[in-house]
Structure 1
Amino acid sequence: MPHSLPPPRLEVQGLSRSFSGREVVREVSFAVEAGQVSCLLGPSGCGKSTTLRLVAGVDAQDAGQILVDGAPVAGPGLHLPPERRGVGLVFQDFALFPHLTVTENVAFGLTGLRPDRARRVAELLERVHMEHHAQSYPHALSGGEQQRVALARALAPRPRILLMDEPFSGLDERLRDAIRDETLALLKEEGTAVLLVTHEPHEAMRMADQILLMRGGSIVQRGAPYNLYNAPLDRAAAGFFSDLNILRGRVEGALTETAFGTFLAPGHADGTEVEIVIRPQHLKLDFDRAGRGPAPTAAEGTAARAQVARARFLGRESLIEFAMDFDGSMLLASVPGVFLPSPGTPMWLMIRRDRCFVFAAS
């Protein structure tokens, strides 16, 4: 007989929760496999932290159920407490015990023989590079060091699921990427199923195997980071990952006229107001060729003339704002490295049509 696939490590089915008559989480469903990092991503107030609290068991849902390895831990008439769900928790304030040493913090909650507990603590402290601080107290540690200890403590009992609520938000920006990478490597080694909450798209893109994009209490789009970035559901989903340029037009015969020529608008009825969305890095620039022949064209489409309004250098890239000759609208272009043309400099802009999205106007 063929072998059946094991159930997901974590499965959430139709989860809902209301406070004072307002539905904060609405029929949320998703699954997280062992060794997978899934990220609840969305703006403040979208329901992601409430969803995490429901999964943890620190709050009870109004409807739906939660299963761990196929066994229900929450559902109609059932609500197991956090300590019986096999979950570990890491929060943004780290919540270390100030009166315990690093070793005692990591060992807290471990059961079994003393030598086994000591080996597990020593192993984790070495893996998070905190073995030299084993007898230090939390107040003597930096934010990044405290985060490492909190992670080691959460992983010490070998939880089947690790829940992380904005765990890196309190760190210095220079440390964040390094700490994230170290954390991700350790989680992958442990094979833990991870549910991470964040409002930072960069963090979700860097860490997640699966992004669950939330809005208004619901999951509106899910998938790998690459897919959400390159095939957003709508303008709001696209705008959550980067700045956007918006070209507006009206559909006539499945086409829309813009400063950059005609665009296809399949699936939109004639008369529909649409927005053509393009990210700043997909604008292409060329100096004004006025007086030296017609405006250039390219496979990407017709070029449009604009004047530089402002240019800023941001370290890895330069951002240039343009005022379009066509209608005075503003567009933003990003260019790698240093590129700081003076205000008023005329230039031609072209756009990558294969990187444009056409949505009904919001």
Structure 2
Amino acid sequence: MEIRYQIRRPIRLEAHLTVEGFTVLLGESGAGKSTLLKALAGLLPAEGTPFSGLPPERRPVGYLPQDLALFPHLRAWENVAFPLKDPPREARRKALLLLERVGLLEHAEKRPHQLSGGQRQRVALARALARGAELLLLDEPTSNLDALTRTQVLAELVDLIRKEGLPTLAVSHDPDLVGFADRLAVLLEGRIVQEGPTPEVLARPAESRVARLLGYANVFPVEVGEGGVWAGGVFLRLPLPPWARPGARAFLAVRAEEVLVVRPDRPKPQENTLQGTLETLYPEGLGHRGRFQGPLTLEILLPRHVQERLRLRPGQPLEVVLKPRYLHLMPR
């Protein structure tokens, strides 16, 4: 589904993107992500396609705001049946069938406060299906989920959405949601600056701001040379895109987990090796995050098995290598 919308208030925003499967629109807080969803749902004035000019009640849209907008005094099946125009008995029958489709039939008589965050999301999804939605809109779907179960709940929700074949646009500032996306778009300063299949956008961010938003911890200015770039007084070799001419200024990005520590028991790499000091190192989940200080200042993220083998500690000398295939060059 192609979306082309122009919004003038409460902020100016121009959005052109394609929604296929589970599509995530990523942007910083205040960028206008929720505003776009409200405009698509008909809750804010906007111009464009699809659905422009239709009142909210006539739009084939399932809109799930952050609080999901479930009626607290109604049971699960009653929330699902609410948009149905059938007689009460038929509406209940259809609502129960929809709850069965989302795996919640046994919870049909429960009220929202008796359900988990993931179960409430599925009730809201069933209600959207009851409306005959052609497009599902999710506003910050990770915001009300428990950190311990978030990944499982999201995986189940996205799987249900895919089984229903319902195009979905989820907006968030949470990079973790990107891992579930079939397609990814990035919103900056009131416009879509990049979109495409998720692996392509993740591997080739179009500019430095996109790279940072996508989790590239190391982004720094460079100057293009012959067959590589100059950065911090050292030359780094990497394949250059056609636009990168010698003397051009650019940004180079590399993920923290792709800054590799040179192991003393293995042959030393012949290129892109930097010598310096491990300035800091601290646990992060099952890994260790640190800061390398040398010709360049780099964040590094070590898997647990690497740290267990090397037993690195702050203050010690360290060599790291920046492999060309992990380096990404962007215009400046």
1:270 CA displacement: 4.7
1:330 CA displacement: 2.1
Amino acid at match of 2:49: I
More displaced stretch, 265-274 vs 132-141: 265-274
Quick one: structure 1 residues 134 and 262, their matched pair in 2 at CA, closer, same or farther if it must change by over 3 Å?
closer
**Quick check: 1:296–1:302 contact (8 Å CA) kept in 2?**
no
1:236 corresponds to: 209
**Quick check: 2:216–2:253 contact (8 Å CA) kept in 1?**
no
Match of 2:262 among 286, 300, 307: 286
| In structure 2, distance between residues paired with 1:160 and 1:178 | 25
SS in 2 for 1:93: coil
Quick one: structure 1 residues 248 and 31, their matched pair in 2 at CA, closer, same or farther if it must change by over 3 Å?
closer
1:335 corresponds to: 302
**Quick check: 1:110–1:117 contact (8 Å CA) kept in 2?**
yes
**Quick check: 1:309–1:323 contact (8 Å CA) kept in 2?**
yes
Quick one: structure 1 residues 297 and 45, their matched pair in 2 at CA, closer, same or farther if it must change by over 3 Å?
same
**Larger radius of gyration, structure 1 or 2?**
1
Stretches of structure 1 that go unaligned for 5 or more consecutive residues are 1-9, 68-72, 290-294
When normalised by structure 1's length, the TM-score is 0.81
Residue deviations 1:111-146 (CA, integer Å, cap 9, x gap): 335554333322332343433332222233333332
| In structure 2, distance between residues paired with 1:39 and 1:235 | 19
1:176 corresponds to: 150
1:110 CA displacement: 1.2
How many residue pairs get aligned? The number is 324
1:149 corresponds to: 123
1:213 CA displacement: 1.0
Quick one: structure 1 residues 303 and 94, their matched pair in 2 at CA, closer, same or farther if it must change by over 3 Å?
same
Match of 1:320 among 290, 298, 306: 290
When normalised by structure 2's length, the TM-score is 0.88
More displaced stretch, 222-231 vs 140-149: 140-149
2:327 corresponds to: 356
Identity %, equivalent residues: 31
The alignment status of 1:297 with 2:269, answered yes or no, reads yes
Amino acid at match of 1:103: W
1:44 corresponds to: 29
Match of 1:196 among 148, 170, 177: 170
| In structure 2, distance between residues paired with 1:251 and 1:186 | 47
1:70 corresponds to: none
**Quick check: 1:106–1:153 contact (8 Å CA) kept in 2?**
yes
Quick one: structure 1 residues 263 and 248, their matched pair in 2 at CA, closer, same or farther if it must change by over 3 Å?
farther
Match of 2:16 among 26, 29, 32: 29
Paired residues for 1:1-362 under 5 Å = 10-13=1-4, 15-19=5-9, 24-26=12-14, 28-33=15-20, 36-61=21-46, 63=47, 65-67=48-50, 73-74=51-52, 79-114=53-88, 116-206=90-180, 208-252=181-225, 255-258=228-231, 261-263=235-237, 267-287=243-263, 296-298=268-270, 301-324=271-294, 326=295, 329-338=296-305, 339=307, 340-361=311-332
Residue deviations 1:19-63 (CA, integer Å, cap 9, x gap): 37xx5212x222335xx22222111122222211121111121x4
Amino acid at match of 1:335: L
Structure with more strand by fraction: 1
Amino acid at match of 1:24: R
Amino acid at match of 1:202: D
Quick one: structure 1 residues 190 and 262, their matched pair in 2 at CA, closer, same or farther if it must change by over 3 Å?
closer
Quick one: structure 1 residues 39 and 252, their matched pair in 2 at CA, closer, same or farther if it must change by over 3 Å?
closer
C-alpha RMSD of the superposition: 2.5
| In structure 2, distance between residues paired with 1:154 and 1:97 | 14
**Quick check: 2:72–2:113 contact (8 Å CA) kept in 1?**
yes
| In structure 2, distance between residues paired with 1:262 and 1:31 | 37
| In structure 2, distance between residues paired with 1:262 and 1:175 | 42
1:6 corresponds to: none
Amino acid at match of 1:66: T
| In structure 1, distance between residues paired with 2:223 and 2:98 | 59
